[in-house]
Amino acid sequence: MTTTAPAVSARGVGRRLGSTQALQDVSFDLPTGAVCGLLGRNGAGKTTLMAMVAGHDRPDAGEIAVHGERPFENPAAAGLVSMVRDNQRYPDDLHLAHLLRVGPLFHAGWDADLAAEVVDAFRLPSKPQLRKLSRGQSSAVAILVGLASRAPVTVLDEPTLGLDATSRQVFADLLVRDLAAAPRTVLLSTHLVDELEGLLDHVLVLDGGRLVRDAALEDLHGSASVVLGPADAVERATADVAVLASRRVGGFLERVVEEPGGSARAAGDPALQVRPAGLQELVAALGAGDDGDRATAARPGSLTEVSR
């Protein structure tokens, strides 16, 4: 259950990194108690935004607040956020046992029992130095720190990177169970949208540094449609609706359109297949750019299936 008070607020946030405008005019309110997916292509600005939420960086323009506190160089906000990056680096000689000992020094709410449970669940080895762990094991360590910190706002940057299917399910189960025991706000980025969609309450989609969607997950369901069929029929049926992305193979055309039901003309044409767009398809379409015929994610019943 979420409350109306935002856990994280952004107003007109901008950030330039060298010659790149990483973020531009980003504004949102992230509900307290929500699990929010921060989605978008590589380079969309996700890690930059998460770093500013965690107080590791600050915006060039605008403001970010975490439970009313500006996070950058603010001792009052230091205990409010826990973030572990997908490429988190540790001292060369640091072992898992060291990390478990120092965790409580950095996080007042550190739960040692939960940390031990995560170690067991992912079968993390104790002997190797952390820098020598595999990609998946490093992700498991990041999950350990994020969950065991019990910070009011937990930021997880690609938490399942390198994890196999079984370990990804372990992560999902741990997160759901721990949030039931200790509710808090989670902001996580992922490219495995379909797989982790069931964890999400809210979605932010970035593209080219701009926020292109900010909505509760339930509001996104059914907000866009996929129209598939002969190219001329699809073009006629979608001529008057917003087309987010297209994919053409031979004489067939698939379009993701920002219209429930695909449009009245599409729904009434027996030559066309019309279905709700999944979240993965919607995110891919929003990040496709303005490149003419743009690719969308393939699913059963999609263009790639029909054209075989």
Burial of 142 (0-12, 13-18, 19+ CB in 10 A): buried
124 or 86, greater pLDDT: 124
Rounded Cα–Cα distance for residues 58 and 176 (Å) = 31
Q: Which residue has the tokens 């019990």?
A: 150
CATH 3.40.50.300 residue ranges for the chain: 6-220
Q: Could you please state the CATH topology (level 3) that the domain comprising 6-220 is classified under.
A: Rossmann fold (3.40.50)
Query: Which tens digit of pLDDT belongs to each residue from 155-175?
Result: 999 999 999 999 999 999 999
Looking at residue 82, its pLDDT comes to 93
Give pLDDT, residue 4: 66
Angle formed at CA 101 by CA 96 and CA 104, multiple of 5 degrees? 125
Q: What are phi and psi of 35, to 5 degrees?
A: -100, 115
Q: What is the reported pLDDT for 51?
A: 95
> What is the mean pLDDT of the segment spanning 274-289?
88
| Predicted local distance difference test score (pLDDT) of residue 291 | 40
Q: CA-CA distance, 265 to 269, in Å (whole number)?
A: 6
pLDDT of residue 2: 46
Look at residue 108 and tell me whether its pLDDT is greater than 70. Answer: yes
Residue 106 pLDDT: 87
Other CB atoms within a 10 A radius of the CB of residue 2 amount to: 17
For residue range 16-48, what is the model confidence (pLDDT) as tens digits? Answer: 999 999 999 999 999 999 999 999 999 999 999
pLDDT over threshold 90, residue 304:
no
Q: In this structure, what token pair is assigned to residue 125? A: 């080895």
Judged against a pLDDT cut of 90, whether residue 206 lies above it is answered with yes
Q: Which helix (H) or strand (E) segment is 222 a member of?
A: none
Tokens at 268, concatenated: 């009434």
- Confidence band for 252, pLDDT divided at 50, 70 and 90: very high
200 pLDDT above the threshold of 60 = yes
Query: pTM higher than 0.85 for the full model?
Result: yes
**What's the pLDDT score for residue 8?**
97
* 143 has a pLDDT exceeding 70: yes
Tens of pLDDT, residue by residue over 282-295, are 999 998 654 444 44
Identify which has the larger pLDDT, 298 or 131: 131
pLDDT at 307 over 80: no
Give residues with Cβ within 8 angstroms of 57, minimum separation 6.
15, 48, 51, 72
Res 148 pLDDT > 50: yes
CA 149 – CA 157 distance, rounded (Å): 15
